[in-house]
Structure 1
Amino acid sequence: MFVRNENFYTFRRNYPIVTILIAIHIILYAFTFLGNLGIFPPGQWLYVLGVGWNVAIAAGEWWRLITPVFLHADLFHMLFNSFALFLFGPPIEKMVGKYRFVLFYLLTAVIANIVTFYLQPLGYRHVGASGAIYGLLGMYVYMMIFRKELIDAASRQVVTVMVVIGIIMTFLNPRINILAHIIGLVAGMAIAAPFLRKAKNFFSIPRYAPTRYREENDDIGFDPNRWNKKRRMPFKSKTIYNILGIGFVILIVIGLLSSIFSF
């Protein structure tokens, strides 16, 4: 489920919502970064108006329960959440559909932010898509327990490892919004059932394939060795996936080190 062998064009067509969300992460981070440098002042205003600030929420600025989902504190924060969305978002978007995916993603994030508002001090500020990301993980955990037909054994192992690593990192890094992570995970598990009511197994859903791959695999003529052929990931896609995988491991290591040594 989590092996991405599409090129950019097919990924964008297969998973438009995930693509849009990642693009929003990158664009808004670029705006706010340039704003903090004084190069693009509207970027700084955007961050100030969008950050999750409990005092402002209590004063009636309710949009701050949603806007923090699209903002990030630094480059590592943005890259980590964007890659997590790239990894875990596509299967769920395909299984539940675009509109249900958007609703689930935002709902888990808002639930996490509401709990943060009520249980954290009034001066507390936060940004990031972590609550929504952990909401996706919560849906996978629900599948592992109640809808096992929707998730294969290899994917269960990946989810288990990522949940364990995520929880460890949550409590190691003092700058992380612990409530958003934990509540996002629990909320994802709690509300997953109605969203998965008509869901289909990810592997049974037709997806766009790269043109070259279709041409090689759509031959309707009889080939006695057809079933002995192995599907091979295109070289470019395989290379990109390996680079992203290595990059994700590096990000995890950096995150753990920065949490321990605070640099």
Structure 2
Amino acid sequence: MILDLFAGPGGWSHSLTVLGVRDVGLEWDQWACKTRALAGQLTIRTDVAMYPVWPFVGRTYGLIASPPCQAWSMAGKRLGLLDQPLVHQAVADLAQGRDTRERLLASCQDERSLLAAEPMRYLHALNTVDEPEWVVMEEVPDVLPLWKQYAAILRAWGFSVWTGILNAADYGVPQTRRRAILLASRVRTAEPPAPTHAQAAEPESLFGPGRAQWVSMATALGWGATDRPVPTVCAGGGPGGGPEPFPSGSRKTLTDARDRGHLDPTGSREPAVAGVG
């Protein structure tokens, strides 16, 4: 099976469905679980930090983990940065089979910080039977140092690992969302997918095909406005992965744009949204 920790409403699950495979998601939020149920996704409603690993041992070939970002995101207080040494310690201990989570949790400024160490609890147990075959993890950019710690441990266990920051806009998503990614595999070289898009379109060259321009929200929604400059709303691409200021430095919203007549899909002035959320 493919095990999806902190499965949320099903972003990873939907992608896997498109590829013709399914996962089992662990998620505690009732509304996320209801969303998954309506989409036909397999879900265990539980606290990832409390659920035992043994039911998955000997049965898991893929592990996905996207721990909650609230402790680290710029949209919050970012207390995860203060807790980061404790999270690193928890990962190191769990990799050795020592569960010190309760002791370390008592010292955390934000109890959610330690959830970023939970994937190692599962990985250590699964590694006893040479599982999983591959691992994918995702978080806000500030968590990249933690992913590098995971990478060092996974390499010692025989994985090929890549870590880095990827931007969703570089892959045709109408959103400038930057995330810290970990890719690991026991059977192939881990490397990120080649970007398909760029902020400015790139022509074909001797080195290969060019990249298309980032997809605007207007284009994604089929609102046209491809023949002239249009307003661009940006969010979700700040250094910490949370909301970022608009390019002008002012706090604009989609409502502001609508009130100026830019968001009328039947009119002549539609928006291009590089990223929202």
Same fold (TM over 0.5): no
Q: Which structure has greater strand proportion?
A: 2
Q: Which structure has greater helix proportion?
A: 1
TM-score by length of 1: 0.28
Larger RCO, structure (CA 8 Å, separation 6 or more): 1
TM-score by length of 2: 0.27
